[in-house]
Amino acid sequence: MIHHPKSKLFVITMIAGFALAIFALFFTQAYAATTTTSSSSANGLTKPLLAIAAAIAIAGGLIGTGNAQQGIGAAGMGIIAEKPEKFGQVLFFFVIPETLWIIGFVLGIILLLGIL
C-alpha cells in the first residue's frame, strides 16, 4: 500500500471531525439538562451546535467515500481493461465505501432530529 502524505492528514481530520460531532452531541445534551432557565435559551445554543455536528458528520462521510473510491475506481478501470469478466467483482469493491456516506448521513439525521 502506498502511503501518501495527504492521507495521514485526511485521517487525522476525519477523526477530529467525528470527535467534534460526538462532543457536540454530548455537550448540548449536558448543557440542556443543567440549564435552569427557560427552554428557549437552551434551544438557542443546542440547535446550532447540533447543526454543525450534523454537517461535519455528513461532510466527513462524503469526503471519506470520495477519497476511498478514487483509488478503487482507478485500479478497477485497469482491471476491467485487461479482464472485462471481472466487472462484477470490481463493481462490488467500488460500492463498499458507499457505506461511509450512508453512515454519515444517518448520523447527521440522528443529530438533527434529536433521536438520541
pLDDT in tens, 13-56: 777 777 777 777 676 666 666 655 544 444 566 788 888 888 88
Angle at CA 97, nearest 5°, toward 93 and 98? 110
Q: What is the per-residue pLDDT for 32?
A: 61
State the fold for domain 52-116: F1FO ATP Synthase (1.20.20)
Distance CA 72, CA 32 (A): 44
Query: So where are the chain's domains?
Result: 52-116
**What is the pTM assigned to this prediction?**
0.59
Q: What is the per-residue pLDDT for 52?
A: 84
Q: What is the dihedral of CA 30, 33, 52, 94, to 10 degrees?
A: 70
Helix locations, 83-97, DSSP H? 87-95
Q: How many residues does the chain have?
A: 116
Angle at CA 4, nearest 5°, toward 52 and 67? 45
Q: What is the per-residue pLDDT for 91?
A: 92
